[in-house]
């Protein structure tokens, strides 16, 4: 008799060796946001990256970049761009990034694999077939992936460069993706700016209502909103902490967390004593809802990789010991341990 998804889920829970509160004892943090490759799909070998992690980092949510920067000789000549701000040429979706991450992961030993939670990101969120890509990746690489993302809807300077249709928070294709993530148990890491660049001070954030509506349409999906909605020139809206707290207090949004990755976000948080205190107070009141991630992009050495964690050094001291432990370690383990169990059960049911 064919075993049901519920039975397989129960079996996976009973046989999950990674479920241990002491799993990252001795490490300083887990990284919820890491790009092994950059915008031209280059990056360190995963074994080299393991050495960068060393005894500092326990586990890492690892993924590539879903967008490839085009190199047009007409525009750049022999100077090939390596970042989206290096050239005026378009970005295009690069689906092979998922296979590249999966193959890198599968080159590791069992013990080394336990330190990674690979994510699927090589899909176009405007495409109704995006779900088919995610399903196909899960079936081709069983036992590998725990989530989807980081993928982008609205992002300063990036959205307008992507070939094809502009992504939208109201697109049914995006709803299909989030529904499927809930069905499988995949963690979703989504980048969506809360506002437009250089927005007028005091104006309502351009994308806040649409984003909240999207989140409420998917109450069974575990969602991490990257960077708390901020960007390089998408600055904190007036009373940004209060805006986040309204989301955190909403009983219909208990499935939503935020990460404080990216040095641009750290720049806002660490700007002055007032911003530091506001941010620390918010996290101390809601310690279960924030995760630390580096947002490092294909780092070349440990110092570069740990740069953001070091920047946050003074900020960690403003958090209560409990909140600091949850943001740096525990919340990651809670979300990704649950995802590992659910996704493996779905894979067994759907193989």
For residue 87 the two structure tokens come to 């050239």
Q: What is the pLDDT of residue 24?
A: 54
Q: Let me know if residue 18 belongs to a domain.
A: no
Long-range contacts of 21-25 (CB under 8 A, 24+ apart): 21/333, 23/58, 23/59, 23/333, 24/58, 24/59, 24/329, 24/333
C-alpha distances out from residue 228 to 62, 79, 87, 105, 295, Å: 19, 34, 27, 29, 13
CB atoms within 10 A of CB 77: 9
pLDDT tens-digit map of 90-149: 999 999 999 999 999 999 999 999 999 999 999 999 999 999 999 999 999 999 999 999
- Whether the Cβ atoms of residue 46 and residue 108 lie closer than 8 Å to each other: yes
Residue 29 located in a structural domain: no
Structure tokens, 339: 């995802």
Distance separating alpha carbons of residues 83 and 71, to the nearest angstrom:
11
Would you say residue 321 lies in a domain? Answer: yes
| CA 1/CA 215 separation, integer angstroms | 38
Is 28 contained in some domain? no
- State yes or no: cis peptide before 150, omega within 30 of 0: yes
Q: Two tokens at 50? A: 């393991």
Residue 189: both structure tokens together: 């890491």
Query: How far apart, in whole angstroms, are the C-alpha atoms of residue 188 and residue 309?
Result: 23
CATH number where 186 lies: 3.20.20.140
Q: Quick check: helix, strand or coil at residue 219?
A: coil
How many domains are there within the chain? 1
> Are the beta carbons of 302 and 44 closer than 8 angstroms?
no
Question: Would you mind telling me the total number of residues written for the chain in this entry?
Answer: 351
Range of the domain at 327: 38-349
Smallest CA-to-CA distance from 186 within 230, 151, 154 is with: 151
Strand partners, 254: none
Average pLDDT of adjacent 10-residue blocks, the chain of 351 residues: 53 50 74 97 98 98 97 95 92 97 98 98 98 98 98 94 95 98 98 92 90 98 98 87 97 98 97 96 98 98 98 98 98 98 98 88
What is the model's pLDDT at position 5?
57
pTM, to two decimals:
0.93
């Amino acid at each position: 008799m064919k075993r049901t998804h519920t039975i397989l889920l129960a079996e996976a829970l009973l046989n999950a060796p990674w479920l241990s509160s002491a799993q990252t004892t001795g490490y300083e943090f887990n990284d919820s946001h890491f790009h092994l490759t950059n915008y031209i799909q280059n990056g360190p070998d995963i074994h080299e990256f393991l050495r960068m992690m060393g005894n500092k980092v326990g586990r890492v949510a690892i993924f590539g970049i879903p967008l490839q920067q085009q190199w047009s000789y007409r525009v750049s000549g022999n100077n090939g761009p390596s970042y989206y701000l290096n050239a005026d040429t378009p970005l295009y979706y690069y689906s092979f990034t998922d296979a590249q991450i999966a193959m890198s992961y599968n080159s590791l030993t069992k013990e080394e694999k336990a330190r990674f939670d690979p994510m699927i990101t090589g899909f176009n969120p405007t495409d109704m077939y995006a779900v088919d890509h995610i399903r196909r990746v899960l079936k081709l690489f069983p036992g590998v992936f725990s989530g989807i993302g980081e993928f982008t809807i609205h992002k300063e300077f990036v959205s307008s460069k992507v070939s094809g249709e502009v992504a939208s928070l109201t697109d049914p294709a995006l709803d299909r993706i989030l529904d499927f993530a809930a069905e499988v148990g995949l963690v979703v890491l989504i980048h969506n700016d809360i506002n437009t660049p250089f927005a007028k001070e005091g104006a309502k954030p351009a994308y806040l209502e649409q984003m909240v509506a999207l989140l409420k349409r998917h109450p069974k999906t575990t969602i991490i909103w990257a960077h708390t909605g901020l960007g390089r020139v998408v600055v904190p809206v007036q009373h940004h902490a209060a805006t986040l707290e309204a989301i955190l207090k909403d009983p219909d949004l208990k499935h939503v967390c935020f990460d404080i990755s990216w040095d641009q976000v750290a720049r806002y948080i660490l700007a002055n004593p007032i911003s530091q205190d506001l941010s620390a107070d918010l996290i101390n009141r809601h310690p279960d809802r924030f995760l630390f991630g580096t947002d490092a992009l294909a780092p070349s050495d440990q110092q570069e990789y740990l740069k953001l964690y070091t920047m946050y050094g003074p900020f960690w001291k403003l958090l209560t010991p409990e909140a600091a432990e949850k943001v740096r370690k525990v919340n990651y383990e809670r979300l990704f341990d649950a995802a590992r169990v659910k996704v493996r059960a779905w894979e067994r049911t759907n193989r």
